[in-house]
A and B are shown apart, each in its own frame.
Chain A
Amino acid sequence: MRGIYYQLKNIRRDKMCILSFLLPVIVGLAINLLSDVSFSTLGEMAFGIVQNDLTEEMADWVEQNGSVTLYEDMDGLQKAIIDPATQMIGVVRDGGTIKAILSGDEFQLYKTIGDKLPQLFEEREAMNAVTIEVHSAQRDNLLLKSLLIAITMVTAMFMGCTFNAMSIIGEKEDGISFINEILPMTQQEYVFQKISLGLVSGILSTVATAFVCMRIEIGQLFPLLLLIVLSAFISALIGMYIGRFSSGLMVGIVYIKMIMIFFIAPPILFYLMVPADSIGRILSYLLPSSATFYGLMEMMNGREQNISTYLAVLLIHCVAWLLIYFITGYRRKKVYRV
């Protein structure tokens, strides 16, 4: 316990460190403040029309099918269509019907709809003839917002990793690591002290972020906490690895940056693109952050039937990486003593 006290004393003076743990919480607050409106327009089909071009009936129909932006002349519309940031479909009058204008770089969804738009307009009467059964979704499904929250929380968990890595690199650069070698302290004790600090701070930061931006039900509380603890443990452990393998500050930053990208980007892609019950999904569990990410997303969408799988995957990662750390550490020590 005394060791942990010294470690705490070591970081107490470090205001930057405390600030970086607060950062995800602040970002969580900011995400909450962003209005839902600006996010929901993202999923909407965007149409652009020119003033005094479409008939009233056409304009009404276009408005029913997506958000409409009005442009003064054709020039403005063409610029907006070509703008690579949007997937806007231009709609102009073509005799008695309408015609779509695309820039040619759209996703398949927008391209198909653009090509089919005149037909959809012509067949608009058919809509009235059929029965439409729309089941309402269980929760308001703002995918982008959930994604942002999940990213912020994974970053918060990652704090433990960066903290441990930086602290060990600092000790290396200042020569404290040599002093550690001769202190009456086993490797286990050292690892325990370092991990517990990274773990506790990662957990605190993540829990605060979750509190700020997730709506959690009582039943979800325990699995969520378990998910956070296990993930924060893995991240603290990875910080130990980075600390061990990097010789200086710059190399440490390289590793942290790469692992950060590697931990955040692939799970988002897997989540969006790999079907839930495919082999790809199972393979993605090789990356511990995938399980964390899926778990968080499912909790935010109010479905958590797979949560035990995710917890099991995380637990396996914890044990495996800890064992590897000790085994390789033992070998290194032996090499040095020879």
Chain B
Amino acid sequence: MEYSFLSLLKKDFKMMLSSKFLLLIIGSLVLYSLYINLVYIKTDQAIYPVYLFDPAESIENASSQIIRVDNMEELQLRTSDGYAVGIDATGAEPKIIMVASGLDSSDQIRTAYALSLLSPGQSTPAEVIGQNSKEMKSRREITSEFLFFELAAVGFLGLASTLFKEKHMGVIRIHGVMPISKSLFIFSKLILFLLADLVFAFLLTVINLGLATGLSVLPAILVQTVILSIIMALVGFFCAAWLPDFRQFSLLYLVLAIFITTPVFLVGQTSITWNWINYHPMYHLFMAIKNAYFEMPIGETVYYIVCVVFIVALFLVAHKTLTREMAKEG
């Protein structure tokens, strides 16, 4: 029993190597880390630029934030984007010039902000209550997105493509007559891909969050990784065993994954609220990973119970499909 399980593991590991699955993991890791460190953490939304046309220098106390322009045409041109605000100080009273942003409230606050720069008024700075800096927040945010996408899209394909290859090679038929339990056959694959996903989650987190922060959030993240990875791997196992033309399905799946996860990301990461998203199972899995990254409390006991029930059900379905395929193969 033990020996046969070990040899199963060994075979699956070899399959994993030959399908270049590890290459895929390393490639994704490099791509994501470069993107996070070179691009994502640098994104920011700048404050509305304010341009002032004041040939007579009549405004003395203007803030240093104001950009002065030399003529009216330039003022018109610079403020044509619906974001910047222009101040025309040629008359007795300053005149605000801008292109509507499409929202009255935004236009209102743009005007108020531009006017406030004309005088050196004092303001109580805002009270800061959060723990994260902008950079740390960006890092946690994007890392959770990438981990989720990688587990949901590629974790699924990894196991499924290996199984599909085995199916082609006739391994399922051979297993039908071998004295090895079908559960072990599924387990050995699950364990290997779970390990690969855990290593990926570990590296992605430590590389992009830094060692100290990374290690402090890691336990919670690894727990969520285990849940998501097992679910996706079992779904992949089921699809590859059940569908006769898995190759075409994999293409469809890659596109599907982008479209399925986009609304989840939109609701999870922006202020958009759609009530129907609560019925989207992926949303809860994503929020669990995200909360783990932000060191916030993750779901209640109900969430874990549902996950475990779901995993057991998936395992039974996968087991049944495998039995059926073996029977079909003779």
Contacts and interface: CB of A to CB of B under 8 A. Distances in A.
B123 A134 contact: no
A279 to B, nearest CB: 18
B37 interface: no
Nearest to B291: A84
Interface stretch (B107-115, B188-196, B309-317): B107-115
Interface stretch (B175-183, B221-229, B244-252): B244-252
Interface string A106-149: 11111111111111101110110111111111001110000000
Nearest to B31: A258
Interface string B155-168: 00110010011000
Contact of B247 (A113, A141, A249, A269): A249
A126 to B, nearest CB: 6
Interface residues of A, number: 91
B306 to A, nearest CB: 23
Given A85-B269, A108-B47, A162-B254, A134 B99 contact: yes
A118 B112 CA distance: 11
B250 A23 contact: no
A84, A116, A124, A169: residue with the most chain B Cβ atoms closer than 10 Å:
A84
B98 A251 contact: no
B93 interface: yes
A135 B98 contact: yes
A42 interface: yes
Interface string B24-62: 100110010001000100011111100000000000000
A106 B99 contact: no
B95 A131 contact: yes
A213 interface: no
Contact of A162 (B43, B99, B111, B251): B251
Given A38-B274, A40-B103, A103 B115 contact: no
A159 B31 CA distance: 22
Interface string B229-263: 00000000000000001011111101110110000
A87 to B, nearest CB: 7
Contacts, number: 246
Nearest to A13: B245
Contact of B112 (A127, A133, A137): A127
Interface stretch (B66-74, B127-135, B206-214, B320-328): B127-135
B130 A103 contact: yes
5 contacts: A108-B46, A117-B123, A120-B112, A133-B97, A140-B102
Interface of A: 14-17, 19-20, 23, 27, 38-46, 64-67, 78, 81-82, 84-89, 94, 99-120, 122-124, 126-127, 129-137, 140-142, 155, 159, 162-163, 166, 169-170, 248-251, 253-254, 256-258, 260-261, 265, 269, 273
Given A109-B48, A251-B24, 6 more contacts: A15-B248, A99-B124, A112-B113, A127-B115, A133-B97, A253-B254
